[in-house]
Amino acid sequence: MAGAKHVLVVGAGISGLACAYRLHRFGVSVSLVESAARAGGLIGTAQQNGFLFESGPQSFSGTDEILDVVRELGIEGEVCKADPRAPRYVLRRGRLLKVPMSPQAVLSSSLLGLGTRWKIASEPFGRTRPPSEEESVAQFVRRKFGHEILEYLVSPFVSGIYAGDPERLSLRAAFPTLEEWERRYGSVLRGAMKSRPSKGARKGPVSLCSFRGGMAALTEALATKLGDQLHLGTRAEELRARDEGERYEIRIAKDGRVEIVTADAVVLATPAYASAHLVSSISSSLSKVLSGIAYAPVAVAAFGYHEGQVGMPIDGFGVLIPRAERIRTLGIVWNSSLFPDRAGPGRVVLTGIAGGATDPGIVDQPENEIARIVQRDSEEILDVTGPPIATAVWKYPKALPQYNLGHGHAVRAIRDSERSIPGLYVAGNFLNGPSLGKCIEKGFETAEAVRDYLQTGR
C-alpha cells in the first residue's frame, strides 16, 4: 500500500514543492527537505521601502494548468494578470521599438529591414526540411530567416528565457515545436498557422500573471499545504541504496547535526550539479550526465524610483536589449506597469537582468558594481535621472540550465538511468523546460510515477 511507504523529496524550489504537494494529495507519506532557510528556490519576493521586488522570475504564463493549481491552493483571488496587449520593446540604435506580436505587425514593423520582412512573408510559400544533424537556434534562424531576425528578435528572447547563447542552444531541445513544424509542414509559419486551435476552441491569449503579494505567494501557499512535511535548513548530503535497491538511506545535515533517514523512493528536485553529487555513490554514469549540464549565471538588479525620474512613459512589459547594442544589461522589466501593488502611487519598479551565457563575468562583480552597471544602462535607455530610492541585487552563479547542443541525449540518458534504478527519480528545470509551468508539470508527472511505483513496484 502506498500509504505505508515513505518518499523523500530533496529541494523545495517550485519543482520539489509541486512534486511533494501532489504526493501529499495522493495520500502518500512524504518529506521535503530544503537546505535554505526558506522554500521557493529561485522564486523570491522582497519588500523594501514600500517597493515589491522579485529576486527571480518576474511573472508566469497563466496557462490553464497553472491556474488550476492556483485555484486548488485557494489563492486565485491573489492572481493579477498583465494586459495581454502590453507592448514589449526591443532596443535598436538606442531607440525603443515595439516587438511585432502578429504576422501582420511583423510585415509593417520598423524593427526589421525590408529584406528580412520579405523572408518572413515568403516563408510559408516555400518548403524546407531540418538538416539531419542537430542545429543550434542561431543556425536555424540564420538558415530560415537571416541574421537580422536572429540579432534583433530571437537572441533577445533567448536571453529572456534561457539567459543562453543561441550559437550553443539546441533548437530541438529548447524550441522543439519549431523543428517539428518544419519537419511536418516544411515551414514554421505554416506549422504555426495549422497548429492554432480552431475558432470555437480558442480561449484567448495566455496572460502573463503574478500575485498581488509577488511570485512567492505561489511557493508559500505550497509550503503551507505541506506543513510539517517540509523541513527547511535541512541539507541532503549523500544518498545510498539499501536492501538491493528496495530502500534508500539519505544523510541529512541540520543545525550542525547529521542524521540518516530512510525512504522507499527518493525524488531529487535539486539543480543538475547538486543531483550529480547526491547520486554519485549510486550511479556514476547518471552522476556524469547530470554534471555535464551547463548553467548560465545571472544577476538581477531591482530599483524603485519616483515616476518623475523616468524620462519616458513606462507602459508595457519592458525592453529587451540585443547584444549588438553593446549594452551589458540583457533586459529591463517594468514591473509596476504590469502588475498592481509594486510601488505605490507616483513610483515605479524597474528590474534589470544581466549576465547569461554570453557575459558570465557579471556575477564576479560586487553587488554595488552590478547595481551601478544596470542603473547606468537604465539611465541611457529609459532616460532615468537621479539615484533610485531603493535598490536590491541578487547574484546566481548557476542560475539557469542551458539546453545546449546534445541536451536531448543527456535528458534521454537521465530517463534511462531512472528506469534502471527503481525508486530514484529526478525532477527540475533542466528536463522539460525552465518555465514555472514546465517545472510544475514535471513535478506532478514525477509524483504520479512515484505513486505508481509504490503501488506496483514498477
Nearer to ligand FAD, 33 or 424 (CB): 33
Nearest distance in Å: CB 177, ligand FAD:
17
Nearest distance in Å: CB 235, ligand FAD:
4
* Angle of helix 14-25 versus helix 216-226 axis, rounded to 10: 40
Coil, helix or strand at residue 326:
coil
Nearer to ligand FAD, 236 or 454 (CB): 236
Classify the C-alpha dihedral 311-343-66-301 as positive or negative.
positive
Nearer to ligand FAD, 116 or 391 (CB): 391
- Give 52's strand partners: 47
Residues within the interface to ligand FAD (CB under 6 A): 10-16, 33-36, 41-43, 56-60, 235-236, 269-271, 274, 298, 300, 353, 396, 399-400, 428-429, 434-436, 439
Nearer to ligand FAD, 112 or 296 (CB): 296
Nearest distance in Å: CB 314, ligand FAD:
18
Nearest distance in Å: CB 104, ligand FAD:
27
The Cα angle at residue 226 between residues 224 and 230, in degrees rounded to 5 = 100
Nearer to ligand FAD, 31 or 109 (CB): 31
Nearer to ligand FAD, 106 or 223 (CB): 223
Nearer to ligand FAD, 59 or 404 (CB): 59
Rounded Cα distance between 317 and 87, Å, is: 6
Nearer to ligand FAD, 16 or 423 (CB): 16
Nearest distance in Å: CB 187, ligand FAD:
29
Q: Which long-range contacts (CB under 8 A, 24 or more apart) does 211-214 make?
A: 211/75, 211/78, 211/79, 211/80, 212/78, 212/80, 212/339, 212/340, 212/341, 213/45, 213/52, 213/78, 213/341, 214/45, 214/52, 214/54
Burial class for 308, CB neighbours closer than 10 Å (0-12, 13-18, 19+): exposed
The CA-to-CA distance between both ends of the chain, in Å, stands at 13
Rounded Cα distance between 107 and 43, Å, is: 37
Q: Give every CB contact of residue 133 below 8 A, 6+ residues apart in sequence.
A: none
Report the Cα 38 to chain-centroid distance in Å.
19
Nearest distance in Å: CB 333, ligand FAD:
8
Cβ atoms 218, 225 nearer than 8 A? no
Nearest distance in Å: CB 37, ligand FAD:
10
Nearest distance in Å: CB 285, ligand FAD:
20
